[in-house]
Structure 1
Amino acid sequence: MARKNIEDYRELFIRDIPLMDMRAPVEFAQGAFPASVNHPLMTDSERQAVGTCYKQQGQEAAIALGHKLVCGETKAARVAQWKAFCEANPQGYLYCFRGGLRSRISQQWLKEAGVDYPMVIGGYKALRRFLIDTLEDIVIQPKTLIGGNTGCGKTQMLTELANGIDLEGAANHRGSSFGRYVSGQRTQIAFENTLAVDMLKKQAAGHSHLVYEDEGRIIGSVSLPLPLLKTMQQAPIALVDDPVDVRLERLLADYVVRMQQDFCLAYGDDAGWQQFAAYLAQGLFAIRKRLGYQRYENLLAVQQLAIHRMQVDGTLDGHYDWLHPLLSEYYDPMYAYQLSKKADRVVFRGRYVEVRDWLRDTTVK
């Protein structure tokens, strides 16, 4: 029995139902959903040509052009790709932008190939609207923020809390000048979609009080949704007070050891080391004005020497010589100033484990 087209968007996202996105690659790149895969009906150039034809000659001529552009071996290859997805994901659905012509054509071609595959009613636009509304509804629920100096493990703590919402994970960026990942950052739309899906899953699991990291307005190149930012600016803060040596170990693991491995895995050994050195240098360069040029030059020299020693004999100790002053002379004073403006919102403070356990006791239902 053929499955029906669906408009239960909540169920799609909570269960991570596989979605086949029929939009053009440029549309998908601007923003998609965590469980979606792009298998377009038309390429970017084909879509542009059909769109121009539609504006100049109308829908009938545009449809005719589309069939002319996607026919023969081209059509067969795309349908074969769709069919493979459908067979691998029998519980999934397809969608285009509005659940209109592209979805219907894709369904028809699949049916001709022996596959009856349902679509999402309303398409991407309806799914996106649902997530925006979801986010606006959930952000008004009670929340607590995790604060603390750089290296206090705030993001790690969120992953250990059943009601934690990892904003930096949704952005795929750690927020600081050294925050980018090899895999690159999500777009604003993809960030918002990923964040809303995470919130929706936490809500479905019964969590009415969520925990976030005490973030600023910007994470890398994306902005926090304004409704969320406004409620975070009033939320209570649980502050992590970990000693410098513990924080340095976390930074060394996150920004040095892990990133070196990731760059070499992505680019190969030689190019990977070059990319890794450029990544750390760019992190300092981004804050050179705030550091002061002389301090920037000094830290950069120490940093690059540490990278050289690390590459030659695996020694990591040299990295403490630039990470420690970066914390004590730059990040810590900056956070102390920021915290002074919201000190009245701090409701608990302690070491990492103490804060984590307090949050579990007071926010997890």
Structure 2
Amino acid sequence: ENGFTPASIINDAPVVFDDDKLETAWRPTGASGKFYGPTRMREALYRSLNLVSIRILRQVGISQAMGTLKRFGLPADTFQRDLSLALGSASVTPMDIASAYSIFANGGYRVTPWSIVQIEKDNGDVLWKAPEVVFCESPCRPPQTDNAPQGGMTEVDTANSDSDDSTTQPRQPPPVMAPRVIDARIAWLMNSILQDVVRRGTGHQANGLGRRDLAGKTGTTNDQVDAWFSGYSPDLVATVWVGFDNPASLGWGEYGGKAALPIWMDYMGPALEGVPDRQLEQPSGIATVRIDPDSGLLARPENPDAIREYFIQSQVPDMEPARGPGGHSAPEQIF
């Protein structure tokens, strides 16, 4: 939405911020202590490079990012309005995060979660069912209803629920609107990048489930106080948080990929057993091109190092400049 693409080049290099509110300058680092230099956005995300995240947030702007977080249903008004937001300074619940990740799994629609799917009698008759979810483009208009109360039973319904008449129709509230909050093309591109987190990045252990439709992201806060893995297939989203009731370090090396991901796998493996592998349908308006991995620019036909990448059609990069003898093209723009 703000002009970045999976091939945008961002510098993974040390950065220092001076802040009058801090006793010392802020020198954020990555978990590995290594710096990769100019890095494509896709690679930076699946490697979980903190300094790239900070630079992207600084380029996009705090206000713009806050607006996006609110669209994802996150309590952004309670978050700190500074660059530490990129590294997990905000406090959220696992339900908050699972709900937000479901937007990627749903192709850009935000679904409000609920805890009860249906209520049954002891003989299996269904008394109540959760409302149907209707995906809609903003502004959403609820379908016409009979003005029955949301989520409750009328006096007639209550009487019927105590009857032995098994033909009674279950009570179901009116449909719930699930509005589109991000463009389908952006949701698809983000899903593609998050799949690489599992296939080749910090969440690679999830390949042990033997599926190709998994996507997600590891997360670890300072001193391994919180470890997260949030991931999904097109049919199921799950988030795992590991930490103490009173915040304290989990111990050295207890990152999201080590502490939280195995729990996620223990749940998702049985939960997806028998569920077919399924990829999100690619929306129209996505271009597949070959790019130079060093510059992120459109590769020349003779480039032997070219790789495939996806773009919104209007954001396909320019052609890379011709190479010198034995040389590589250089990035045009580094943040």
Larger strand fraction of residues? 2
After TM superposition, the score normalised by the length of structure 1 is 0.21
Give 1 or 2 for the bigger CA radius of gyration: 1
Which is helix-richer, 1 or 2?
A: 1
Q: TM-score, normalised by structure 2?
A: 0.22
